[in-house]
Amino acid sequence: MSRDTLSLTITRKFEAAPERVFDAWLDPAKVRAWMGMALTDFGLSGDVRRIEIEPRVDGSFTFSDMREGAEAVHWGTYRVIDRPRKLVFTWFTSEEEERANKSVVTVTIEPEGRGSLLTLIHEMDPKWAEYEEQITSGWTQMLRMQARLLAGQDR
């Protein structure tokens, strides 16, 4: 990690083939399901409003949900789509973040036994260091709900 980048790494084993794990990031119905599950698990409403995905390099995405009466929006652009191994995208929650353009998520998926091992690396401006625990917890929860959904244990 360089001084001008904060890098968080989360790994998760999945009982699903790499193709299924990869596709769960780009299939709007699956994203809506695991995102809603993760939000509910965090004690939020789970009211997912928008899931818009253009699954191509330079394609954009927008995810939003309702939190305390306001729409929380997350958006970005896909930089690499290499099914089923690698997905790289920007991740923004504010126009300030987008202008700085220092928030990049890299997801790599490797076969492991009958399942997969996913590694997520989120690189961002070090000014977000005070939120490191919250950001790590958020990604960890999203991956947990993806695994649960792919295992067929969705609510």
Domain layout of the chain by residue ranges: 6-150
Look at residue 155 in the predicted model and tell me its pLDDT: 39
Average of per-residue pLDDT values in the chain:
93
**Cβ proximity of 10 and 146 under 8 Å:** no
Q: Which residues fall within 8 angstroms of residue 94, CB to CB, at 6 or more apart?
A: none
Kindly state the average pLDDT of the residues 36-45.
88
Look at residue 50 in the predicted model and tell me its pLDDT: 96
pLDDT digits (tens, 9 = 90+) for 106-147: 999 999 999 999 999 999 999 999 999 999 999 999 999 999
Pairing assessment for the beta strands 60-67 and 48-53 based on DSSP bridges: antiparallel
**Cβ proximity of 126 and 28 under 8 Å:** no
- Architecture of domain 6-150 in CATH? 2-Layer Sandwich (3.30)
**pLDDT classification of 8: cutoffs 50, 70, 90:** very high
β-sheet bridge partners, residue 122: 8, 105
pLDDT digits (tens, 9 = 90+) for 66-80: 988 899 999 999 999
Instruction: With 0.85 as the threshold, say if the pTM is over it.
Output: yes
CA-based nearest residue to 118, from 93, 92, 145: 145
**Prior bond to 55 cis, omega within 30?**
no
